[in-house]
Amino acid sequence: MDIRAQISMVFHLDKCIGCHTCSIACKNIWTDRKGAEYMWWNNVETKPGTGYPHRWEDQEDYQGGWILNGGEIELKGTGKKRLLKNIFHNSTLPVLDDYYEPWTYTYSDLFDSPQGDDQPVARPYSMVTGEYMDVKAGPNWDDDLGGSELYAKNDVNYDALTSAEREDLHHLQKMVMMYLPRICNHCQNPACLASCPSGAIYKRGEDGVVLINQEKCRAWRMCVTGCPYKKTYYNWQSGKSEKCVLCYPRLEAGEAPACMHSCVGRIRYIGVLLYDKDKIEGIIHQDEKQLIQAQKEAIVDPFDPEVIKAAQDCGVSTHMIESAQKSPVYKWVKEWNLALPLHAEYRTVPMLFYVPPLLPVMGNISHNLYDNNGDQFFTSIDDCRLPIKYLASLFSCGDESLVRDVLKKLMAVRVHRREVTTGDISRSQADDALSQAGITAEEAEAIYKLSSLCTFDQRFVIPASHREEAIEMTKMVLEHKGEVGFGFKEDPERI
Amino acid sequence: MSQFLFGVFPYIASVLAVVITIYEYRRNSFHFSSISSQFLEGRKLFWGSIPWHYGVLTVLLGHLLAFLFPSAYIAFAKVPMRLLILEVISLVCGFMAFLGLVMLFKRRMLDSRINIITTNFDISLLLLLLIQVASGVGVALFYRWGSSWYASAVVPYLRSLWVLDPEISYIANMPFVVKLHVFNSFLIVAIIPFTRLMHFLVAPVHYFWRPYQIVIWNWSRRKIRKADQQ
Ligand code: HEM
Ligand code: SF4
């Protein structure tokens, strides 16, 4: 066993209200710079929809991630074999128009215009070229737009649905949408890292955060193609690639990443998972159907004395182990089996997990009358407005049973709480729902608490990173005092 | 004058290039980058970058081989058919490089998005390279057979530079285009550390030997792990 610690995340999609506060918090801290205007390390997309960049899930086009080729794992569009072909011109690189051209407005015209017959207006202009432009696309142009011909219809996950099912999602009264907030998954088998010819990208041993060394990046731009989630971005001004850093300076100071800290829906959880590094090789070679199961098996029980012993032998700090024991992520992912990775079929072993949304049908319009679905208060999950097939395409490599198991549990928790609070459901009905979902009333209660009543400290369990000890190795602590900070030692100028 | 241009300047250029490049690499390796502009414009880049790089790298490889093994080269090219093939390959690559460069130059000047990230150094570099490739192709076209007397006349000159005993008589009576080609090449060497040309010095060859995944440990715990255990 080679036990390592990984800071991992869970996003509870039932709670996301699509407010984009997370994106703005991130933008303000990290990407409000020249060359990075178009970047949204954190973005929230509306699904069904095409996402950002446009149709990023279409790997036939973007060629990201890993594939199994005759039992061997290889990078789909990058890697050693394809370097010479790709390096002078990378045919699968998403370009500015695949994201959107960032713009702002001539606000000063509102104040400085000479007096005239018309109201002055602020005109949009490009933040790249400075020229006036007609704004035609943005990072969340289809915000809240279920059923759209242009966006929802072009959702890559529609491939999993029959045409009748697709049509269904575009009927006026059946339209549906959900939010999908996305950041870098800080994967255990990162394809961006493996694609980087310069070796500028690395995974931190202590906590698994994936970072790009700006000093070593040479703009070969293979990571942008390599990452199937399109979460590495090329800065056109500095000539360097950038990505979500999981706010590591904040993490090291014991604070939650800005997107998580600011999340209005409180959908985000962060905590440590201990995993067995030796098993990663096995996971990525698994058949698609077994991928998620294998990934979960590699995550080990932080209470198991054998694991604790092994972790200590592998140099995982005591703080790390303690914090793995308190980790909310462990509960969601392992204990309750409620959280699933996004598009595990890309084989990067992503460490951001999602609790899929329930979207129950509470009522239907029939004969122009609103009908509250008969006697059962909570409808059967197969009547979910968003087809299970669709969710399975996102979260379980197409395996509907995995999603159904999760939804059953989520539903059972609701039934159970309904019985407890209003009592208009009988206890036997509630117990029935619980046993069908395979959880006990205590578990349901715990899930309910961590979903709805969770405090700040329950959502964010961040281990001490002991940078002070790391500094001691290289310099006198007192000398270092007052020097701490991050950023460039030199101006990040182009030549 | 010739003495300076061909006897002294090459040293100034090379020393400048080597010293400043090493200094930059140590002080601020941030500057080492191909500064790709494909993100802002991809189509025209394809028609520029692909022919340019394949063309110029092949031609440079030819120059290098003849420089390293001149006698073997002359012996090889004694057979007219072989000489012809060599000349045709280098001419084709020369043309590819030239057309690619023209495309790159046009793109730099005319594309509105590329315009805003184009610096004077970018333009100067492209101009110098244009002169270089044009004069090279000119030599190949008008002074047959350039490849042979490159090996027999220019290589000895370059080697005399290398052993710090410049023998400019080899080059003094050459036609103007040849002199231009030689002098300009040192000019390009001189500006390497000031332009994106540094990117070919950091071409990612070590990629082929390294394992795909890289893990870096921040602190002492890495000592208890063996170096190969990533
Ligand atoms: C050894 C391997 C080399 C590699 C891997 C390489 C790679 C690249 C890359 C990735 C770019 C950026 C293209 C983009 O905008 O996306 C580039 C641009 C360029 N390269 Fe190279 N290159 C190499 C050798 C050379 C050599 C030997 C020269 C010149 C003698 C050269 C001259 C240029 C120039 C002038 C540009 C700028 C094109 C522009 O105007 O945008 N390269 N190269
Ligand atoms: S801040 Fe939270 S609730 Fe708001 S969009 Fe982001 S993830 Fe959703």
DSSP string, B167-224: -THHHHTS-HHHHHHHHHHHHHHHHGGGSGGGGGGG--GGGGTS-S--EE--SGGGGG
Tell me the C-alpha to C-alpha distance, in Å, between residue B147 and each of A440, A451, B157: 84, 76, 15
Question: Binning pLDDT at 50, 70 and 90, where does residue A486 land?
Answer: very low
- Return d(Cα A457, Cα A68) in angstroms, integer: 41
> Left (φ > 0), alpha (ψ -120 to 50) or beta: where does B131 sit?
alpha
Sorted by where each begins, the domain ranges of chain A are 1-42+50-90+183-355+464-486
Grouping H, G, I as helix, E, B as strand and the rest as coil, residue A369 is strand
Q: Domain extents for chain B?
A: 2-229
Q: Check whether the bond before B80 is cis (ω within 30° of 0).
A: no
Q: How big is chain A by its Cα radius of gyration, in Å?
A: 24
Of A2, A93, A204, the CB nearest to B42: A93
Q: For B2-229, which CATH superfamily applies? A: Transmembrane di-heme cytochromes, Chain C (1.20.950.20)
Tell me which chain B residues have a C-beta less than 8 angstroms from the C-beta of A251: none
B157-166 burial: b if 16+ Cβ within 10 Å, else e = bbebbeeeeb
A96 touches chain B (CB under 8 A): yes
Give A-chain residues touching B117 at CB under 8 angstroms.
236-237, 494
Type of residue found at A485: G
CB contact under 8 A, B31 and A492: no
Instruction: Locate A331 and state its tokens.
Output: 């509960």
What pLDDT was estimated at residue A479?
63
Q: Give the tokens for residue B174.
A: 């050459």
For the Cβ of B34 lying below 6 angstroms from any atom of ligand 1, the answer is yes
Q: What is the pTM of this model?
A: 0.91
Beta strand B215-216 with A201-204 is parallel
Whether A187 and A210 have beta carbons less than 8 Å apart is answered as: yes
In whole angstroms, give the CA distance from residue A263 to residue A260: 5
Q: How close is the Cα of A253 to the center of ligand 2, in Å?
A: 23
Chain A positions touching B229 (Cβ under 8 A) are: 2
Return d(Cα A254, Cα A74) in angstroms, integer: 37
Nearest Cα to Cα of residue A401 among A284, A287, A288, A289: A289
Q: Which of A81-90, A148-157, A353-362 has the lowest mean pLDDT?
A: A353-362
**Residue B84 has which token pair?**
């012809």
A80, A86, A87: residue to mutate for ligand 1 pocket, most atoms within 8 A of CB: A87
- How many CA within 13 A on the CB side of residue B219? 15
Q: Is A95's C-beta closer than 6 angstroms to any atom of ligand 1?
A: no
> Would you list the DSSP string of A240-304?
EEEE--TTHHHHHTTPPPHHHHH-SS--EEEEEEEEEGGGHHHHHTS-GGGHHHHHHHHB--TT-
CB contact under 8 A, B116 and A128: yes
Are A75 and A239 contacting, i.e. CB atoms less than 8 angstroms apart?
no
**Closest chain B CA to residue A493:** B31
Token digits of residue B192? 């390497």
Distance between CA B218 and CA B221 in Å, rounded? Answer: 8
Q: Name the residue type at position A133.
A: M
- Number of neighbouring beta carbons within 10 Å of residue A52: 23
State the DSSP H helix or E strand holding residue A202, giving kind and residue range, or none if neither.
Answer: strand A201-204
Chain A CB contacts of B121 under 8 Å are: 495
Q: Specify which residues A6 forms β-bridges with.
A: A273
pLDDT at A362: 64
Question: What proportion of chain A, given as a percentage, has pLDDT over 90?
Answer: 76
pLDDT digits (tens, 9 = 90+) for A25-55: 999 999 999 999 999 999 999 999 999 999 9
The neighbouring-strand residues paired with A244 are none
What is the spatial distance between Cα B23 and Cα B117, in angstroms, rounded to a whole number?
25
pLDDT for the residue numbered A377: 58
Using a 10 angstrom Cβ sphere, with 0-12 exposed, 13-18 middle and 19 or more buried, the burial of residue B61 is exposed
Topology of the domain covering A1-42+50-90+183-355+464-486: Alpha-Beta Plaits (3.30.70)
Q: Alpha-carbon distance A252 to A265, whole Å?
A: 24
Q: Is the peptide bond before B145 cis (omega within 30 degrees of 0)?
A: yes
Q: What is the pLDDT of residues A324-340, one digit of tens each?
A: 999 999 999 999 999 99
Amino acid at A245: V
How does pLDDT run across A230-249, given as a tens digit for each residue? 999 999 999 999 999 999 98
Q: Whole-number mean pLDDT of chain A?
A: 90
pLDDT digits (tens, 9 = 90+) for B164-212: 888 888 888 888 999 999 999 999 999 999 888 999 999 999 999 999 9
The three-class DSSP label of residue A377 is: coil
CA separation for the pair B109, B115 (Å, rounded): 6
Tell me the nearest-neighbour CA distance from B213 into chain A, angstroms. 6
Tell me how far apart the alpha carbons of residues B7 and B167 are, in angstroms, rounded to a whole number: 8
Q: What share of chain A is helix, strand, coil (3-state, %, to 5)?
A: 40, 15, 45
Distance A418 CA to ligand 2 centre (A): 26
Is the per-residue pLDDT at B223 higher than 60? Answer: no
Give residue-wise pLDDT tens across range B5-41: 888 899 999 999 999 999 988 888 888 899 999 999 9
Give the amino acid at A19.
C
